[in-house]
Structure 1
Amino acid sequence: MTTFAALHHTDTPLLLLPNAWDHASARAFADRGFRAIGTTSLGVAAAAGLPDGTSDTRDETLRLALALGSDPYLLSVDAEDGYSEDPEKVAEFARELAAVGAVGINLEDRLGSPTLHAAKIQAVKAAAPGLFVNARTDTYWLGDGEGTLDRLDAYQQAGADCVFAPGVTGPREIGALVKHLAVPLNILYTPTGPTLPQLADLGVRRVSLGSLLYRRALGAALEAVGEVREGRAPGGAVPSYDAVDALSRREAT
Structure 2
Amino acid sequence: MTGAVETLRALHLRRPQGDPLILPGPWDAASARALAEAGFEALATPSAGVAAALGYADGETPADEMFAAVARITRAVDVPVTADIEDGYGLAPKELVERLLAAGAVGCNIEDSTGGALKDPREHADYLAEFCAAAAGRILLNARVDTFVHGDGDPERAVERAAEQAVDRAALYIAAGAECVYPIMAPVAVLPLLRSGIEGPLNALALLTPDGPSPAALGELGATRITFGPQLQRRAAASAAELAAGLRQ
TM-score higher than 0.5: yes
Q: Which residue of 1 is the match for residue 44 of structure 2?
A: 38
Contact 1:83/1:90 (<8 A) preserved: no
Aligned residues: 225
Shift of 1:115: 2.0
Structure 1 position 150 matched with structure 2 position 168: yes
The normalised TM-score by structure 2 is 0.84
**CA distance in 2: counterparts of 1:227 and 1:141, whole angstroms:** 38
**CA distance in 2: counterparts of 1:207 and 1:225, whole angstroms:** 32
Q: Which residue of 1 is the match for residue 105 of structure 2?
A: 102
Q: Which runs of 4+ in 1 moved over 6 A?
A: none
Contact 1:45/1:57 (<8 A) preserved: no
Q: Which residue of 1 is the match for residue 13 of structure 2?
A: 9
Kindly report which structure 2 residues correspond to 1:122-133, keeping only aligned pairs within 5 A, or say none: 122-129=129-136, 130-133=138-141
Structure 1 position 139 matched with structure 2 position 158: no
Contact 2:203/2:225 (<8 A) preserved: yes
Contact 2:68/2:103 (<8 A) preserved: no
**CA distance in 1: counterparts of 2:7 and 2:166, whole angstroms:** 28
Structure 1 position 222 matched with structure 2 position 222: no
Structure showing greater Rg: 1
Q: Could you tell which deviates more after superposition, 159-168 or 60-69?
A: 60-69
Kindly report which structure 2 residues correspond to 1:137-216, keeping only aligned pairs within 5 A, or say none: 137-143=145-151, 144-145=158-159, 146=162, 147-171=165-189, 173-190=190-207, 191=209, 192-216=211-235
Higher relative contact order (CA 8 A, sep 6+): 2
Shift of 1:48: 2.7
Partner deviation per Cα, 1:190-226 (whole Å, 9 max, x = no partner)? 1344221211112211000110001111111122222
Structure 1 position 115 matched with structure 2 position 122: yes
**CA distance in 2: counterparts of 1:96 and 1:112, whole angstroms:** 23
Shift of 1:114: 1.4
Contact 1:44/1:60 (<8 A) preserved: no
Shift of 1:50: 2.6
Q: Which residue of 2 is the match for residue 240 of structure 1?
A: none
The normalised TM-score by structure 1 is 0.83
**CA distance in 1: counterparts of 2:174 and 2:34, whole angstroms:** 33
**CA distance in 2: counterparts of 1:11 and 1:66, whole angstroms:** 29
Say which SS state the counterpart of residue 86 (structure 2) adopts.
coil
Say which SS state the counterpart of residue 69 (structure 1) adopts.
helix
Aligned mate of 2:73, from 68, 71, 89? 68
Structure number with the higher helix fraction is 2
Structure 1 position 53 matched with structure 2 position 59: yes
Letter in 2 for 1:114: P
Shift of 1:154: 1.4
Contact 2:110/2:142 (<8 A) preserved: yes
Letter in 2 for 1:109: D
Shift of 1:112: 1.9
Q: Which residue of 1 is the match for residue 28 of structure 2?
A: 22
Letter in 1 for 2:89: Y
Contact 2:203/2:226 (<8 A) preserved: yes
Shift of 1:159: 1.0
Superposed CA RMSD in Å reads 1.8
Q: Which residue of 2 is the match for residue 82 of structure 1?
A: 88
Contact 2:49/2:229 (<8 A) preserved: no
**CA distance in 1: counterparts of 2:11 and 2:73, whole angstroms:** 19
**CA distance in 2: counterparts of 1:94 and 1:182, whole angstroms:** 24
**CA distance in 2: counterparts of 1:51 and 1:113, whole angstroms:** 26
